[in-house]
Amino acid sequence: MDGIADLGGTSGWGPVSPPRADEPVFPEPWQGRATALTILAIRLSGRNIDAFRYAQDRLDRAAYLDQGYFGRWLNAAELMLVDGAVLAPGELDARARDLRDGHFEQPGEPARPDPSAPAWPAAPGSLRTVDAAPAFAVGQWVRTKNSSPPGPTRLPGYVRGQVGVVEVVQPAAVFPDTNAQFQGENPQYVYSVRFDSHELWGEHGDSFAVTVELFENYLEAGS
């Protein structure tokens, strides 16, 4: 599916603001809590990082764009909890209405963590080892597949069907398109592919190179 996050090559978003040297990781305290809640939602719902990205892709415009970066994290966290049957659809909205109307119980003494309880294991990461050799080599011309699958994809829309050259063969990694839907890790090589701006957007405008990291499944031999 063409998710709302696929904004590359589109116009109308204004200039990109340069980062501030003194910018804090979380400008407001609630943003740090939103990050912690999202990580907790991934674990409670049995999802993974690719399913989290897929949840963001399925948000509507207001939930993705109008509520800011960490707002979309919270919206995606809620969607994952619904997907994982931890929450019923609309349950958070109902609880919020109860809070606004004053229909809520006073919280008791917060539970203290058990120091003897085992900690959650660290995530295994996404790098994998595959026995097959890479299908493409450095310097080889490749074409991206011109496809729009019904499920999740990390193939940017603006490079589909375009020709570029392989600059780097990266290690194999979990394929997010299948991993997001629990259809297997399907590990494969990742390629840094360089495209000419005129190939992507026509002869008008400045000439520059665009490098995109692409999974092997997205590519075929091209010239």
pLDDT for position 121: 63
As a whole number of angstroms, the distance between CA 124 and CA 128 comes to 10
Residues β-bridged to residue 194: 165, 211
Low-confidence ranges of the chain (pLDDT < 70): 1, 103-123
Structure-block tokens of residue 71: 């707002």
pLDDT for position 2: 74
Sign of CA dihedral 90, 95, 96, 100: positive
What CATH code is assigned to 141-221?
2.30.30.50
pLDDT for position 205: 79
pLDDT for position 14: 82
pLDDT for position 212: 97
pLDDT tens-place string over residues 161-214 = 999 999 999 999 999 999 999 999 999 999 999 999 998 988 887 899 999 999
Provide the residue ranges of all domains of the chain, joining segments of one domain with +. 29-100, 141-221
Query: What's the Cα-to-Cα distance from 98 to each of 78, 91, 106, 138, rounded to whole Å?
Result: 18, 11, 13, 59
pLDDT for position 110: 52
Read off the pTM.
0.83
